[in-house]
Amino acid sequence: MATPKSKIKFPTSADSPFEDGYDIAGERDALKDLVEAEEPDEKDPRWERFMDLLEREERLRQEHANRQQRQYADPIVPDHEARALKAIGSLVADETDVMAIHTKEAYRLFIGRTRDESPRGYGITSGKKVAAVLRSIWNLSANDNPYADWILVQVTDRVGELRQQLEHAGKHFQDDLDKLQARGLRVSVLKSRAPVEVELGFRSPYGYMIVDLILDFDWYARVVKTMVQKNRLGDIEGKEDLYQMTKRIRALFESTLPYQKYLLREELRLLSRSDFLPGASDEARKRVEAAIGIFGAVSQPIFTGEVRPRHSRRRADVSEAEMRLLVDVAQGKVDTDGSNLNQENTLL
């Protein structure tokens, strides 16, 4: 920053933003009484230094505001080009995403079934509803909600496990079909004459995670039905395989509902990690007690951010000091009232 030459003496520092090395923090400390005075004394012998300080502070504010308006672009970039950064719109797809499903079993998982229409009196939670639930919880992660992170990590892990099971079982059957070809019988996996095409409008990555699971199950169901048709599996075996896999996926879908039911209540909607820290308000303490009472304790790696969701709307990174405090709270070394704990029990 260019600075006019001045005969005023002032402290200097190596990291000064001014060419003459002016130490603005050091000067503020030196003139602290004038800076903090409601009506500074103009007759003070340091008045000229004080005016110089105020002028430099104002110049720094103006230059910071200008850099901010220019989106901190390189000085060589013209103002109109720098400010155009804010005018860039969000990304959109040229075409709607479409999912093609070949089996009724997979499509039933996607659309679900109401309890009233179920032959056995058991409803089926739809994959579309689960995607909406996960989107709501994903939105909560923007509040630095540890339970939102916990749920997203858990569901992601369980979906990953199910997809691995589908891949492993399907590959086993596919290998059996490939052996037929080695013996001279070429067999292709069955597919629908008229697959259902579904337009997808999911607004979170977790909706597409559910789509991946359903498509994997659809392929698995096609392979199983092919195995039955080609006499590699019996009718009962094929139905049982599909039933057991459907049962596991439905159990996962059902498990997501209570999270949305409680976390989106007004009493818990504002829950965040800061509620667990010393000095939190009474309302924050109530949210913490309610969350732990309903869901139990969040594991330390989730609470401290060591383990994070694959996708999160959280934007602020935790500082080292905040991380140490979170770890202390998680390990029970610091109570939420700020006192040290001399016991082994952990808060989370």
- Displacement of CA 70 from its chain's centroid (Å): 29
Q: Given this model, what pLDDT does residue 342 score?
A: 34
Q: What is the pLDDT of residues 184-241, one digit of tens each?
A: 888 889 999 999 999 998 889 999 999 999 999 999 999 999 999 999 899 999 999 9
Question: How many alpha carbons fall within 13 Å on the CB side of residue 36?
Answer: 6
Q: Given this model, what pLDDT does residue 17 score?
A: 86
Burial 104-132 (b: 16+ CB within 10 A, else e): ebbbbbbebeeeeeeeeeeebbbbbbbbb
Q: Given this model, what pLDDT does residue 202 score?
A: 87
* Distance set, CA 310 to CA 15, 29, 189, 216, 257 (Å): 39, 46, 33, 20, 20
Closest C-alpha among 15, 18, 46, 12 to residue 32: 46
As a residue count, the chain comes to: 348
Q: What is the pLDDT of residues 57-83, one digit of tens each?
A: 999 999 888 888 888 888 898 888 888
Helix (H, G, I), strand (E, B) or coil at 2: coil
| pLDDT surpassing 60 at residue 105 | yes
Dihedral over Cα of 160, 162, 163, 167: its sign: positive
DSSP structural state of residue 206: H
**H helix intervals, 77-145:** 79-83, 104-111, 127-140
- What is the rounded distance in angstroms from the CA atom of residue 340 to the CA atom of residue 336? 9
Confidence of residue 129 (pLDDT cuts 50, 70, 90): very high
Q: Given this model, what pLDDT does residue 205 score?
A: 94
Q: What is the pLDDT of residues 299-341, one digit of tens each?
A: 888 888 888 899 888 866 655 555 566 566 555 554 544 434 3
pLDDT above 70: percentage of residues in the chain: 87
Model confidence, pTM: 0.71
Beta bridge partners of 97: 200
